[in-house]
């Protein structure tokens, strides 16, 4: 086995998007459970494709040529590591206010930005009337089109809009102003949420037309450590209806709707399952609810995706990560509709050896069953 194959634990990729989706939808069971990630940071993809797979890295520019070379590397990354799909999310431009500081994740990591929690781009109806909501007809869908035209045999595509309707609305208002306006001007909150939601719905109408889309997998962080970021009542009033519409749109085409939502969203899980009709839940933190306990509570009703806690994944040794992965394969893997992965994403601060330890443990077990 080549040296990079040894690191990954997979002699030859055998992607099978149909078996992967059948497993997550409960139509069949794979042993071991497959790999699944919501997002992998570009810095990690660059390290893997360059240092391990020996490919030349090209950062995507505004031109389609550089984007195509970049996307070729993205394809190779997901395939060679043993995933059954290629993941991509892009976002319409919704301008907001933000801060920035030096990224401390590693040498030459650039800047890290965050949303301004106090000051928003919209705080009044006058701001709303002036706000530059995007024109979807001007959006360049080329990266989605390129992947759809170049997806390898046996693989599928998992697409989404980057940042869900709650995230984008709260970023436009700022979290603090959103909380005030939910009381002082709920009609303004509804107007912005409906504008954002309507544009995202049109976005999904577009990407769901691609032939090789196997699932949509939006991220919309609606919780923090102890509960939801705003009241469950307000989430039900302004934001969950848009997830319901997008899920229905996907289901009309026979495509599952998975949801990544950080924080404690247990108070709206019944809404998400029974009303929105999500097909799977991603994002788990041990201090909120360990993935094993979540699976016990909701097993069989939805797919349970990932679950290796981010703090653990970023601070443990690679051997500890390997053992934790083995533990989840043996525990959650006994149940239906489970996939192995991080509790959130493979961020730039996750040690590469820890990510590969998780991937390798799944692939080694997969190899025993080929």
Nearest alpha-carbon partner for 282 in 84, 31, 35, 29: 35
pLDDT at res. 126? 98
Where does the pLDDT of residue 2 fall: very low under 50, low under 70, confident under 90, or very high at 90 and above?
low
Average pLDDT in the 143-153 region?
A: 98
Is residue 365 within 8 Å of residue 63, measured between CB atoms?
A: no
pLDDT at res. 113? 87
Is residue 106 within 8 Å of residue 348, measured between CB atoms?
A: yes
Tokens of 255: 């495509």
Direct distance between the N- and C-terminal alpha carbons of the chain, in angstroms, rounded to an integer = 16
For the cut 90, the answer to whether the pLDDT of residue 367 exceeds it is no
Contacts of 65 (CB under 8 A, 6+ apart): none
Where does the pLDDT of residue 369 fall: very low under 50, low under 70, confident under 90, or very high at 90 and above?
low
For the cut 60, the answer to whether the pLDDT of residue 5 exceeds it is yes
Taken as a whole, the chain contains a residue count of 370
Helix or strand run (H / E) with residue 282: strand 280-282
Residues 260 and 343: their CA atoms lie apart, in Å, by 10
Where does the pLDDT of residue 6 fall: very low under 50, low under 70, confident under 90, or very high at 90 and above?
confident
Where does the pLDDT of residue 366 fall: very low under 50, low under 70, confident under 90, or very high at 90 and above?
confident
Q: What is the mean pLDDT of the chain?
A: 95
Average pLDDT in the 34-60 region?
A: 96
Task: For residue 59, give the DSSP letter.
Answer: -
pLDDT at res. 96? 92
pLDDT at res. 7? 86
pTM: 0.96
> Helices 318-331 and 291-298: crossing angle, nearest 10°?
10
Residues 179 and 177: their CA atoms lie apart, in Å, by 5
pLDDT at res. 3? 67
Q: Where are the alpha helices (DSSP H) in 151-305?
A: 165-173, 175-184, 186-207, 232-234, 240-252, 269-270, 291-298
For the cut 80, the answer to whether the pLDDT of residue 51 exceeds it is yes
What would the pLDDT profile of 289-313 be if each residue is shown by its tens digit?
Answer: 999 999 999 999 999 999 999 999 9
> What are the boundaries of each domain within the chain?
3-367
Contacts of 328 (CB under 8 A, 6+ apart): 291, 292, 307, 308, 338, 340
pLDDT at res. 64? 98
CATH class in words for 3-367: alpha beta
> Which residues on neighbouring strands pair with residue 304, listed in sequence order?
281, 338
């Amino acid at each position: 086995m080549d040296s990079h194959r040894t690191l990954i634990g997979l002699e030859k990729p055998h992607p099978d998007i149909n078996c992967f989706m059948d497993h997550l939808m409960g139509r069949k069971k794979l042993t071991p459970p497959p790999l699944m990630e919501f997002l992998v940071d570009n810095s990690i993809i660059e390290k893997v494709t360059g240092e391990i797979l020996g490919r030349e890295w090209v950062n995507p520019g505004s031109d389609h040529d550089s984007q195509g070379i970049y996307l070729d590397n993205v394809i190779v990354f997901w395939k060679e590591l043993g995933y059954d799909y290629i993941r991509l999310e892009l976002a319409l431009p919704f301008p907001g206010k933000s801060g920035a500081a030096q990224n401390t994740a590693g040498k030459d990591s650039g800047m890290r930005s965050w949303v301004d929690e106090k000051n928003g781009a919209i705080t009044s109806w006058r701001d709303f009337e002036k706000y530059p909501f995007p024109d979807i007809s001007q959006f360049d869908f080329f990266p989605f089109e390129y992947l759809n035209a170049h997806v390898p045999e046996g693989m599928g595509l998992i697409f989404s809009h980057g940042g869900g309707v709650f995230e984008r609305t709260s970023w436009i208002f700022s979290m603090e102003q959103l909380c005030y306006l939910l009381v002082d001007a709920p009609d303004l909150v509804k107007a912005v949420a409906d504008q954002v939601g309507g544009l995202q719905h049109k976005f999904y109408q577009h990407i769901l037309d691609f032939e090789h889309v196997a699932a949509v997998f939006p991220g919309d962080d609606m919780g923090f450590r102890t509960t939801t970021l705003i009241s469950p009542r307000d989430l039900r009033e302004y934001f969950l209806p848009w997830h319901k519409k997008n899920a229905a749109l996907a289901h009309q085409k026979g495509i599952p709707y998975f949801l990544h939502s950080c924080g404690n969203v247990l108070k709206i899980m019944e809404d998400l399952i029974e009303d929105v009709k999500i097909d799977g839940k991603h994002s788990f933190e041990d201090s909120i609810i360990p993935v094993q306990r979540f699976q016990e509570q909701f097993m069989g009703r939805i797919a349970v995706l990932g679950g290796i806690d981010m703090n653990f994944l970023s601070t443990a040794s690679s051997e500890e990560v390997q053992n934790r992965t083995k533990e989840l394969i043996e525990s959650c893997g006994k149940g239906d509709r489970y996939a192995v992965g991080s509790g959130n994403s493979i961020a730039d601060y996750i040690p590469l050896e820890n990510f590969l330890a998780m991937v390798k443990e799944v692939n080694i077990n997969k190899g025993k069953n080929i």
